[in-house]
Structure formats: structure tokens, C-alpha cells
Amino acid sequence: MRVWRGRSVTCGCPALGASHQVGQGVARRRSRPAPRVLDGPAAACDPRTMHFSSMALASDGDDPAELQAHLTRYQPPENEVGAEIGGVHVLSRTEDVALVLAGARVHSTGIELELELRLRVAGHDGTRHRDFWEAVEQTWVGVALADGTRVVARPARSFGRRPGEATYVLSQSGGGGGGRSYRQTFWLSPAPPAGDLVVVVANPELGLPEGRHTLPTAALAEAAATALVLWPWEPDPPVDPDDAGRPSPPPSGWFAEPPA
């Protein structure tokens, strides 16, 4: 039996039950072959706290290479420092809201995209903040690969079929914010084929129309060549699930006395 060790999460991994599918009804010209459409998992937890950093499938005999491949499918490898592609690009905006591509980091196993959503005026009311964050979570994010493949990360609380054995996955790997600034990060895995990468976004809840930006081939190739591997990846050491994270009471005093 396999046991999840490390921090408990309910994020975009299909093993944890999150799923989605790309929306239907997209018109295509008959003169062009229809692009392949692949699904990425939608985050099933609060993106302000989700992270797979210490997660490991721990059972005797697990293949470390298989475990590493599973983890890097849904998050950047933690033994690497991705190389930045320079520039900040406005993807979509209105008079009061703007969604920008604040950064892109290329790793050996994929690409991390950082999006920032900025407000002209912040809402100080708690209810308004909560409602706005829920609207931020409804951002649609996708990428078009050089071979015609489209990969889509559905917004939070979207439902549909599991991504299954899709070649590419685009999953939300983190986020947070408040006031006038909110951030979301997305992880595309595995590394896409050589060529331009088009980032596409939309958020009807916030009135943001569809917008896009192209990351050019040359910039992607240069970043891929300079990504830094700090050390070989190793799985987390074994832990006892019954004792993991359990604090010990002070050695003396009231808390050290046995319960009555």
C-alpha cells in the first residue's frame, strides 16, 4: 500500500482526485488540421497554500526515478534553479484590472509561468476581498505548443474528465495575494518541443478578454541551456507516519505531567 508522506495537500495531481477538461465548441477552419487538446489538472485546494515540496510516495520498493517523474509532473524540480526569460508582458487588461505575465522560468523538466493580477483600487472589506479572490481563481490559462498542441489549466472548482495519460500537463502550483496584487504560478510539464510557446489567458468573471503573449524560440532555448542543477535529486528520507510532525511536551512542568 502506498502512503502519501510530507505535507498534506489536495492539489492538481490526478491521484488526489482533481480533474478537468477543455471547453467544447471551438470553431476551426477546415483547411487546417485540428490541434490536439490536452488537459491539465485543476487545483482542488486553496492555491495560496498548495505545494508539493515534501510530498513523496513512500512504499518499500518504490522506484526513485518513477517518484521523481511523478513529482516533477506537477511542480518544478526542487534541486534546480530555473533560468528566467526576461520581460513583463500585459496579457489582458481593462480600465481597472490588469493580468500580466510577470515571469517565465525554464527548467529541464518544464516551464513555470508566473501571472500577476493588479487592481486599480483595492477593496478593504473582508467580504469583497474573498469575493475577488474567488474571481481570481476563475482565470483560464493555457499554452499553445509549437507542434499545435494546446494545454489548458481549468480554473478552480471546475470539473470534468481526468487528464489520464496526457503527454503535457499545465497545473497551478501556487499563488496568493491581497489588496491590489494577486499572484498565480503554473507549471507546464514535460518540457515542450522546440519552438514558440504562446501563453493564453482569459477571466470572464473579472471582465478580462482573451489575451496572449508569445515566448520566442530563441529565448526559450537560451534559458533551457542555462538552467542550474544544484545537486542530484534524492527522495525524502523515510518517516514514521504515526510520529511525523508530532511535537514533544516540555520536559518539566504542568505539560509534562500525565493526564488525570
Res 155: pLDDT: 75
Q: Which of 61-75, 98-112, 165-179, 191-205 has the lowest mean pLDDT?
A: 61-75
Q: Is the pLDDT of residue 223 over 90?
A: yes
Share of the chain above pLDDT 70, in %: 66
CB 35 within 8 A of CB 157: no
Res 73: pLDDT: 86
Choose between 17 and 150: higher pLDDT: 150
Choose between 31 and 228: higher pLDDT: 228
Q: What is the tens place of the pLDDT at every residue in 60-75? A: 456 777 887 888 888 8
Choose between 40 and 189: higher pLDDT: 189
Q: Which of 47-56, 73-82, 223-232 has the lowest mean pLDDT?
A: 47-56
In the Cβ-directed half-sphere of 252, how many Cα atoms lie within 13 Å?
0
Q: Where are the beta strands (DSSP E) in the chain?
A: 3-5, 37-40, 56-58, 80-81, 83-85, 89-93, 97-106, 111-119, 140-144, 150-153, 169-178, 181-189, 197-203, 208-215, 228-229
Q: Label residues 5-39 b or e (16+ Cβ within 10 Å = b).
A: bbeebebbbbebebbbbbeeeeeeeeeeeeeebbb
Choose between 202 and 53: higher pLDDT: 202
Q: Which of 104-118, 144-158, 160-174, 175-189 has the lowest mean pLDDT?
A: 160-174
136: nearest Cα among 105, 179, 170 = 179
- The arithmetic mean of pLDDT across residues 217-227, rounded, is 93
Alpha-carbon distances, residue 66 vs 47, 59, 105, 110, 149 (angstroms):
26, 12, 24, 17, 25
With 0.75 as the threshold, say if the pTM is over it. Answer: no
Residue 118 burial by CB count (10 A; 0-12/13-18/19+): exposed, middle or buried? Answer: middle
Q: Is the pLDDT of residue 256 over 90?
A: no
Task: Report the mean per-residue pLDDT for the chain.
Answer: 75
Q: What is the tens place of the pLDDT at every residue in 9-66? A: 334 443 333 333 333 333 333 333 344 444 444 333 333 334 444 444 444 456 777 8
Q: What is the tens place of the pLDDT at every residue in 100-129? A: 999 999 999 999 999 999 988 876 555 466
What does the alpha-carbon distance between residue 139 and residue 150 come to, in Å, rounded to a whole number? 17
